[in-house]
Amino acid sequence: MQAISDICIIGGGISGLYLAHQLKQSQPGLRIQLFEALEAVGGRVQTEPMLDGQFRAEFGAVRIEPDLQPLMDRFVQELGIAVTPILSHEAGSAILPAAERLTAAERAVLERAAGGDAAWALLWYGIEQAIGDQWDFAGDRLDRPGRAADKAGLRRDARFAGRPLYQQGMWNVLADVLSHEAVEFAREKGAFYNFKNQNPNAADWICQLLDMRLMQRPSYIPQGGMQALVDAAEQAVRGAGVEIHLRHQLDAIVERDDGDLDLRLRHGDAGATVRTRRVILALPRRALEALAPSLPAPVLACLDAVLCFPIVWASCVMADPWWGPDTAPGSGEGASIRAAHFESHPATPGAYGLAMFYNDDPWCHYWANLAEQPGARFPHKNRPVRSADPRLRLALERTLQQTFGRDDVPRLLEWGLCDWSAAPFGAGVHFWKPGRDSAQVMATLAAFALGADGRAPQVHICGEAYSDFQGFFEGALRSAQRVLQLLPHAATPSHHQGFHDVCN
């Protein structure tokens, strides 16, 4: 391991890999080391081969939306990754709300949306009532000039019921403009990227939904599964000369008298200290909180600005599957799941099939309790996610029976799950809390000094958790871009110019 680095990146998820790649592209002479606590890079990407590799079960991120994720789409193209379009998104519910419990205006909304997604229509009716003329809904498009600045202004300045919108929870706002039936229906049956039983910052989430409503191009997945993205990024980063160190846990950051930093790392039972000029913490909230003794008080106050949203994926391979290549995603009705995705074997679709069940709050707690080792439910990428747990198998059999309305027992060959709320991640995704100024928090975390002596920033935090597009790769990359914009004058290779010469 090299003793001195220009930049150390802590965390080998998509934001850490992207940062390393972009820094090396712009300044090849930088000495960069990347440290990952787990046995492999990839963060919340987990593609697990099943049935001897004939299926690839996704236990983490499942798709890329090019309209929503232009930075991610560009990164995929830079890496030269072949992709496969996904024509179906989340399943829509066939259930309708009780008309007699809706207002006359809400019933009119459903009549105009006949045959479409009722929950989505009611949600947008509520948002339009809450925002009013503070946003041009009719003329909105993703490529509209000035749109990004307008969204930033909406986050900062929008008001509802006389109060700043960002100080209010999403469900509080909707409850003031929709009937109780419409609110409950939108929350329980909505097929959009949902936030069940969470109450995120209304301004931030509405701004994100403004993008999601304009998505038109189909999503896609890298050929070979989402893991192919991670593999390509890791290969590019290693090929550019970045040293990647696996199974290295950061325990502390200590500021030196000369302004450099000592990183105290743990590798198995051994300790190591690495000296660096700057460190980028590409980590989720829970991992950052573990570093609390090393972080200044203003930064610690920012970490609590986001909600941790649990997600559990459970998957199984079935012989003689009850679905075919054209089976649409399931909306989870009648079973203890949020959504279901089905795949058929490409050569023999009638012989084998893969079912993947997505679970958020509250169903994630049911599935997490079926793990073999409660408290250590994440496979850490070094143990097969496939399971022999009979309780999990029975739960999957029952879920398939409920989903397809059958009483016979499905023939399961392999099964397993992944709980992203377990250590070390602590969440599947994150949401901004009501009352927190996301722009101020992101600015604080993007660059700060450990001490209070006026030194130049040495530490940067990025990732999906503290971004303006949470829950997607795009948020992680936007957050990384924010850090990159603050690095150019300080990230000069050490053998070319001294750190203090650059910053002063």
**pLDDT tens per residue, range 146-199:** 999 999 999 999 999 999 999 999 999 999 999 999 999 888 777 555 556 789
Of 168, 185, 212, which closes a domain?
Answer: 212
Give the pLDDT of residue 188. Answer: 79
Give the pLDDT of residue 497. Answer: 35
User: Mean pLDDT, to the nearest integer, of 374-396?
Assistant: 68
86 is a domain residue: no
Do 183 and 208 belong to one domain? yes
> Are 192 and 212 a contacting pair, CB within 8 Å?
yes
Give the pLDDT of residue 19. Answer: 98
In terms of Cβ atoms closer than 10 Å to its own Cβ (0-12, 13-18, 19+), residue 374 is: exposed
Do 272 and 331 belong to one domain? no
499 is a domain residue: yes
Does residue 382 have a pLDDT over 90?
no
Do 346 and 405 belong to one domain? yes
Which tokens belong to 224? 């070979």
Do 208 and 171 belong to one domain? yes
Which tokens belong to 272? 């190591």
Tens digits of residue pLDDT in 23-39: 999 999 999 999 999 99
Nearest 5°: CA angle at 90, between 85 and 95? 145
Do 300 and 357 belong to one domain? no
Do 206 and 245 belong to one domain? no
Tens digits of residue pLDDT in 441-489: 999 999 999 987 778 899 999 999 999 999 999 999 999 999 999 986 5
Give the pLDDT of residue 1. Answer: 43
CA atoms of 478 and 466, how far apart (whole Å): 10
CATH of the domain at 16: 3.50.50.60
Does residue 3 have a pLDDT over 80?
no
User: Mean pLDDT, to the nearest integer, of 236-248?
Assistant: 97
The pTM (predicted TM-score) of the whole model is 0.92
For residue 389, list its beta bridge partners. Answer: none
Do 40 and 135 belong to one domain? no
Do 316 and 300 belong to one domain? no
Which tokens belong to 378? 């994440």
User: Mean pLDDT, to the nearest integer, of 311-324?
Assistant: 95
Do 376 and 413 belong to one domain? yes
Range of the domain at 293: 4-44+227-306+430-503
Does residue 502 have a pLDDT over 50?
no
CA atoms of 230 and 40, how far apart (whole Å): 10
Residue 291's SS3 state is coil
CB atoms within 10 A of CB 15: 30
Give the pLDDT of residue 376. Answer: 44
In terms of Cβ atoms closer than 10 Å to its own Cβ (0-12, 13-18, 19+), residue 232 is: buried
Q: What amino acid occupies position 183?
A: V
Sign of the CA dihedral with 38 first, then 43, 48, and 49 last: negative
Q: Which conformational region is residue 274 in: left (phi greater than 0), alpha (psi within -120 to 50 degrees), or beta?
A: beta
204 is a domain residue: yes
Does residue 493 have a pLDDT over 60?
no
User: Mean pLDDT, to the nearest integer, of 234-260?
Assistant: 96
Does residue 496 have a pLDDT over 50?
no
Do 360 and 376 belong to one domain? yes
Do 103 and 193 belong to one domain? yes
Does residue 92 have a pLDDT over 80?
no
133 is a domain residue: yes
Of 181, 212, 243, which closes a domain?
Answer: 212
Do 197 and 251 belong to one domain? no
Cis peptide before 434 (omega within 30 of 0): no
β 4-10/32-35 pair status? parallel
Number of domains in the chain: 3
Of 180, 212, 244, which closes a domain?
Answer: 212
Confidence of residue 504 (pLDDT cuts 50, 70, 90): very low
> Are 493 and 31 a contacting pair, CB within 8 Å?
yes
Confidence of residue 375 (pLDDT cuts 50, 70, 90): very low
As a whole number, the mean pLDDT across the chain is: 90
